[in-house]
């Protein structure tokens, strides 16, 4: 059997080469239908759009994305064609929680925001939002949870009126009862009763980036922390210098989260193949010790790198340095 694999998925090569007869590694944004004409398995990240145009007429029967999100997967088409597919729910939840927690600590240390006196709202309370809530609850005075599909009590209007900080962890949807596309638009920012901090580590298009820039200019957003952007990798360059922490969609890129994703992909693949999962997939250890979370990870390092070279957005994602959620014991 043959697999085509995004070449930026880490820690997976030894494991998948142990179960496949042939494995081809390609840049995710360059995988084409011609590459799949003799492939049985396709493993991608968000940069590959998996739909009829890519798969029709190929022998691919198993698709996995090593990500939580799957808006790049045409699930209806795959299911209609009988192609098994899977994503990796929760794989990088604690990584994103680390990103948010460390960003909040920087706000307190560098900008004097007294976290214990703030109300923080979380929009989207799935695997990631729940991990964020657990990580930040000890830091802030109050947490409001907004997730209409999960029937959580806080409305977006309540967050708009009561929160000092709002952090976004919802998927991108354009249809249904609760679409999230441009959920944070000009009308939302105009309706704020006081300036807020906005953090987006969910999906870029949930925030209208032009409206966000206007809100920063007007003072209604006092600080923005943006990891996911509209039109990646061609981000809004006029917005970039106005954002306090600006990173290239790497909030979930800890080595731990990446190893979790590769492990989940291999478990699903082995199950589909009807064979046991025997490979061990672990991230490398780091020597950092100590109790300060910012010693282990400081988001400003990633932010400085992006602000200096925004044209390297994809390069910085694809060659992200090893980051652990914990150091040696």
Domain ranges of the chain: 2-87+255-273, 93-246
Tell me the C-alpha distance between 144 and 150, whole Å: 14
Longest CA–CA separation in the chain, Å: 61
Q: Which one of the listed residues 134, 232, 304, 314 is annotated catalytic?
A: 232
State which H helix or E strand residue 20 sits in: none
pLDDT at position 286 is 78
Closest to 9 (Cα-Cα) out of 322, 283, 316, 262: 262
249 is annotated as an active-site residue: yes
Tell me the C-alpha distance between 218 and 87, whole Å: 40
Q: pLDDT tens per residue, the chain (329 residues)?
A: 999 999 999 999 999 999 999 999 999 999 999 999 999 999 999 999 999 999 999 999 999 999 988 989 999 999 999 999 999 999 999 999 999 999 999 999 999 999 999 999 999 999 999 999 999 999 999 999 999 999 998 999 999 999 999 999 999 999 899 999 999 999 999 999 999 999 999 999 999 999 999 999 999 999 999 999 999 999 999 999 999 999 999 999 999 999 999 999 999 999 999 999 999 999 988 776 667 999 999 999 999 999 999 999 999 998 999 999 987 65
Q: Which residues of 44-78 are buried (b: 16+ CB within 10 A; e: fewer)?
A: bbbbbebeeebbeebebbbbbbbbbbbebbbeebb
DSSP 8-state assignment for residue 204: G
49 is annotated as an active-site residue: no
Tell me the C-alpha distance between 240 and 265, whole Å: 34
pLDDT at position 291 is 78
pLDDT at position 326 is 83
- Residue 98: which residues within 8 A CB-CB, separation 6 or more? 135, 254, 293, 296, 297, 325
- Give residue 308's Cα distance to chain centre: 22
Do 2-87+255-273 and 93-246 agree at the fold level?
Answer: yes
Helices (H) and strands (E) in the chain, counts: 12, 11
Whether residue 233 has a cis bond before it, omega within 30° of 0: yes
Closest to 83 (Cα-Cα) out of 66, 58, 46: 58
Statement: 2-87+255-273 belongs to CATH 2.40.50.100 = no
Closest to 201 (Cα-Cα) out of 135, 251, 248: 251
Class of domain 93-246: alpha beta
Residues 257 and 265 sit within 8 Å (Cβ to Cβ): no
Q: Which residues of 126-136 are buried (b: 16+ CB within 10 A; e: fewer)?
A: bbbbbbbbebb
Phi, psi of 29 (to 5 degrees): -80, 5
What angle do the packed helices 93-111 and 299-308 form, to 10 degrees? 80
- pTM higher than 0.85: yes
Three-state DSSP state, 102 = helix
Closest to 205 (Cα-Cα) out of 186, 173, 182, 227: 182
pLDDT at position 328 is 61
- List the beta bridge partners of residue 123: 146, 168
Q: Which one of the listed residues 45, 47, 223, 249 is annotated catalytic?
A: 249
Tell me the C-alpha distance between 85 and 188, whole Å: 36
Q: Which one of the listed residues 203, 223, 236, 305 is annotated catalytic?
A: 203
- List the beta bridge partners of residue 223: 197
The tokens of 133 are what? 């809530």
110 is annotated as an active-site residue: no
State which H helix or E strand residue 66 sits in: none
The tokens of 77 are what? 């088409």
Tell me the C-alpha distance between 128 and 70, whole Å: 14
pLDDT at position 287 is 76
- Give residue 146's Cα distance to chain centre: 18
């Amino acid at each position: 059997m043959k697999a085509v694999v995004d070449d930026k998925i880490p820690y997976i090569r030894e494991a998948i080469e142990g179960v496949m007869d042939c494995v081809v590694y390609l840049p995710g944004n360059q995988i084409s239908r011609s590459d799949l004409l003799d492939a049985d398995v396709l493993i991608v990240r968000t940069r590959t759009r998996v739909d009829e145009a890519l798969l029709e007429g190929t022998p691919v029967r198993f698709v996995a994305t090593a990500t939580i999100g799957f808006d790049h997967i045409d699930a209806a088409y795959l299911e209609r064609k009988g192609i098994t597919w899977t994503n990796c729910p929760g794989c990088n939840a604690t990584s994103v929680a680390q990103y948010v927690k460390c960003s909040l600590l920087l706000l307190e240390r560098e900008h004097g925001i007294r976290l214990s006196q703030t109300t923080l709202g979380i929009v989207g309370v799935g695997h990631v939002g729940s991990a964020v809530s657990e990580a930040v609850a000890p830091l802030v005075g109050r947490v409001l949870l907004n997730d209409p599909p999960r029937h959580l009590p806080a409305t977006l209007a309540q967050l708009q009126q009561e929160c000092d900080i709002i952090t976004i962890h919802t998927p991108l949807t354009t249809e249904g009862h609760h679409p999230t596309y441009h959920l944070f638009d000009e009308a939302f920012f105009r309706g704020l009763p006081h300036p807020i901090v906005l953090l987006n580590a969910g999906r870029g298009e949930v925030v209208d980036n032009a409206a966000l820039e206007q809100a920063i200019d007007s003072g209604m957003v006092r600080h923005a922390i943006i990891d996911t952007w509209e039109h990646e990798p061609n981000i809004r360059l006029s917005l970039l210098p106005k954002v306090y922490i600006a990173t290239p969609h790497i909030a979930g890129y800890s080595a731990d989260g990446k190893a979790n994703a590769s492990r989940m992909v291999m478990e699903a693949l082995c199950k589909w193949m009807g064979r046991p999962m025997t490979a061990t997939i672990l991230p490398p250890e780091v020597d950092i010790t100590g109790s300060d979370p910012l010693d282990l990870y400081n988001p400003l390092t990633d932010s400085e790198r992006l602000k200096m070279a925004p044209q390297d957005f994809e390069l910085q994602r694809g060659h992200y340095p090893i980051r652990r959620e914990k150091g040696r014991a």
